[in-house]
Structure 1
Amino acid sequence: MPADLAVIGLGPLGLPLAQAAVAAGIPTVGYRTGPEPGSLSPAELRRMLSGGFRHAVGPAELGRVRTAVICAPTPRGTDGDLDLSQVEAAARTLAARLRPHTTVILESPVPPGTTEDFLRPLLEEGSGLRAGRDFHLAYSPSRVDPGNREFTPANTPKVIGGLTPACTESAATFYGRLTDKVVRARGLREAETVHVLETNFRHVNIALVNEMAVLCHGLGVDLWDVIRCAETKPFGYQAFRPGPGVGGHAVPQDLASHAGRPLRMVELAEQVNSQMPRYVVQRAAALLNEHGKSARGARVLLLGVTYKPDLADQQATPAREIALRLLDLGASVSYHDPHVPAWNVADRPIPRADSLYESAADADLTILLQHHRTYDLQGLSVKAQLLLDTRGATPTGAAHRL
């Protein structure tokens, strides 16, 4: 059966889009841009396959669809900017097969101006077609929240910005098959900047509450109780919670190299958030010291090493830096995570705890880094010799909180 949609890039952005398209009855083909970690369970993948999803056997299949969505990853490069190499590779592959009247949409996180100034020339030069005349070109910021059961692609509004009004309408028609609400941006750059604003909003507010965590610990104030009370305010406040660091695929952008000046709030937020793993290790060492133990030679158990609860994704997880810093202090580090069967840090294999409660009882310090649903925190707080909770998930008084 011919596909209506090609999803190019089957990582954390592309797979959920393909899943939503299949659920909406759209025949979909997926094309990988490189080694991309899958986030679907075997049962979810079976449902997709039975619903009409299939992997492309070759790039030629990209020329047989009405809509192509590029979801290639754009990790941060060594220069600090987003690496667009996989977007470029995807564009060149698609351009060689691009047919007239196809709608091409970019969902990858990119700096404003990328769709028109970077993607458009690649598609036009490789296909001989002209964007806005021979094919439609648009940008739509991905709003995937892995593991979120409340907000799905169907009930999350989709922002669309096209090269021309006709491009916007073509992309809106496609996304109207997937979601209850489509929001039209003024153009490509406005749609691209929506993602910048949304991502930076998250990082800046996490930085604020992380700073509050450090401040409140010094003051002897229960920050978690402060947040509980503050979030009862029905206006002007949105609750964020501290943690051991910020992980995930959404990279904050200050756009200094594009706009000629940095976003100072974003720069500061990155500095604050990047120091949280170090702060967690400092708190861990202080707790051990308070109980007559040194970090050197201490047995430390890390619980949950993924960047998000109940998922196997380890992208930018702060657990790696925390483990490395503990190892540098001479601690003996082990881990437990129901979603991670094996774990390496700086090419060093970290022993996996098979029996959670026995390992917690044996460890000098247990650090909760990620609150997976399977963790019985009340039971762990009883079994563990010393428990540091970086997520505020344990019952009040049952552990030392961040």
Structure 2
Amino acid sequence: MTVGILGLGYVGIPLSLAISDKGLRVIGFDVSEQRVEQLNADQSPIRHILSEDIARMRHQGFEATTDMRRAAECDALIICVPTPLNRQREPDLSFVVATMDAIAPWLRKGQLVSLESTTWPGTTDEILAPYFDRAGLRIGEDAFLVYSPEREDPGNTQFTTHSIPKVLGGVTPQCLAAGQALYEVFIDRIVPVSSARAAELVKLLENIHRSVNIGLMNEMKVLTDRMGVDIFEIVDAAATKPFGFTPYYPGPGIGGHCIPIDPFYLTWKAREYGLHTRFIELAGEINAGMPDYVVNRLIAAMNAQGKALKNARVLALGIAYKRDVDDMRESPSVFVMERLQAWGAEVAYSDPHVPKFPDMREHDFDLSSVDLTPEILAGFDAVVLLTDHNDFDYAMILKHAQLLLDTRGRYRGQSAPNLYRA
């Protein structure tokens, strides 16, 4: 069997590795010539995946290409392309549609197509299935179509692509059976559900669950700050209850490609059914407001030291969306940096995993990471801890920063004249 992976990013590359390790031939497709050249040169573009892993996969027969005509060689095609929001915060399926347009001429009998990109319930049936009809392929008889949401967690060493259970829904029972035959080769446990639409909803529920609970903690954080109580102490203590409580922690916002995006996919689709998902949208509003809250806390802290934010030099510590990864997607750190600039501050950043600020569709910073030394830290009017990478020397940072604002609870239980919390 030959498997084609469409989209070689944080989902497609680990998936390619998992499939290749089980002895299947893998062809990786991407529109980026740079990404294709990088992989074919045995270089990993993602920090938590080693170049040695790419070299092993290449030795096992993997090759990357921009030539979509080679989709005809593949017995299975797995789509792992981005599904962002547009400027109106509505679902943007342009990458999925462009991918289907590119492979449509090469769809053939016997092929299985699986969509793994997060999307609104009904996408597989309403957007992908018509391509099969136009190709003269009967779904469930001539070719097969399934939805199986990705569950990658970049940087998480406890769970791998192999060991994370795989939810799978087919357009027909025959499609589900074909999908199981593929995925059970390289996934330890398959979780079949009744339809592709059900599988699409599973993915949304997983991340809406996190968004809502993080929103609750962020709202609690604002309240406890007013009360002069440490929210991290409260959560840690509540987490000692062995049942009925799951700890979630506040921060400067939410990031990654899932949690800030997925709720809007469901709220958008819910309008088709005449429903207004107020609870989900409220959590989104709270989380989206946290960068402004961080900046306001910084303004108050600087005022307490007799300084103004305008023309101040501010260092952002950590700009990846979470600890110990290089993933910048929807990072709340970037939104904080933009708001600091809007206030007239001179912004710099330090992140050991992001040496140069990447090209991003909605953000433009011509910056590189600065080294953290006592002299450099002391040269900034304020340092804002936004992503608490383990590589940071936190004692040195606290000792030499003129003003340190902690948004992650890294300094919980500590006090210092220059330490503030947000």
Aligned to 1:396: 413
**What are the residue-to-residue correspondences of 1:192-341 with 2, within 5 Å?**
192-250=200-258, 251=261, 252-253=263-264, 254=267, 255-341=269-355
Separation (CA, whole Å) in 2 of partners of 1:301 and 1:186: 50
- 1:183-213 CA deviation, whole Å, 9 max, x = no partner? 1101111111101111211111111111111
**2:223 alignment partner AA:** L
Query: Which of residues 162, 168, 175 is equivalent to 1:160?
Result: 168
Deviations 1:63-121 (A, max 9, x none): 12221111111110133221111111111222211221111111111111110111010
Deviations 1:269-315 (A, max 9, x none): 11101110000000111111111211123221111111122222211
1:130 aligns with 2:138: yes
Indicate if the aligned counterparts of 1:14 and 1:71 stay in contact, CA closer than 8 A: yes
1:24 maps to a residue whose letter is: K
* Separation (CA, whole Å) in 1 of partners of 2:31 and 2:228: 50
Q: Deviations over 1:143-178 (max 9, x none)?
A: 111111111112111001001112111111211122
Kept in 2: contact 1:10–1:36 (CA 8 A): no
Structural mapping, 1:7-18, within 5 Å: 7-18=5-16
Match of 2:103 among 87, 94, 103: 94
Structure-1 residue corresponding to 2:129: 120
Aligned to 1:376: 393
Secondary structure of the residue that 1:349 maps to in structure 2? coil
Shift in Å, 1:33: 4.3
Quote the Cα distance in structure 2 between the aligned partners of 1:346 and 1:150: 32
Q: Distance in 2 between matches of 1:356 and 1:120?
A: 56
The within-5 A match list for 1:140-179 is 140-179=148-187
The whole-number CA distance in structure 2 between the counterparts of 1:71 and 1:355 is: 37
Post-superposition offset of 1:42: 2.9
Deviates more, 1:187-196 or 1:48-57: 48-57
2:325 counterpart letter in structure 1: L
Contact 2:30 2:66 in 1 (8 A): no
TM-score (normalised: structure 2): 0.89
2-structure distance, mates of 1:107, 1:61:
20
Query: Distance between the aligned counterparts of 2:119 and 2:305, measured in 1?
Result: 48
Residue 386 (1) aligns with residue 403 (2): yes
SS in 2 for 1:73: coil
CA distance in 2, matches of 1:9, 1:359: 40
- Among the aligned pairs, what percent are the same residue? 39
Determine if contact 1:94/1:123 at 8 Å carries over to the other structure.
Answer: no
Structure 2 portions without partners, runs of 5+: 36-44
Q: Distance in 2 between matches of 1:44 and 1:395?
A: 38
- Is 1:360 the counterpart of 2:374? The answer is no
Query: In 2 relative to 1, CA 169–43 (structure 1 residues): closer, same or farther, beyond 3 Å?
Result: same
TM-score normalised according to structure 1 size: 0.94
Q: Identify unmatched segments of 5+ residues in structure 1.
A: none
Provide the secondary structure at the position in 2 that maps to 1:137: strand
Q: How many aligned positions are there?
A: 399
Cα distance in 1 for partners of 2:363, 2:84 equals: 19
Which deviations, in whole Å up to 9, do the C-alpha atoms of 1:308-340 show, x marking residues without a partner?
222222111112221122122222221111122
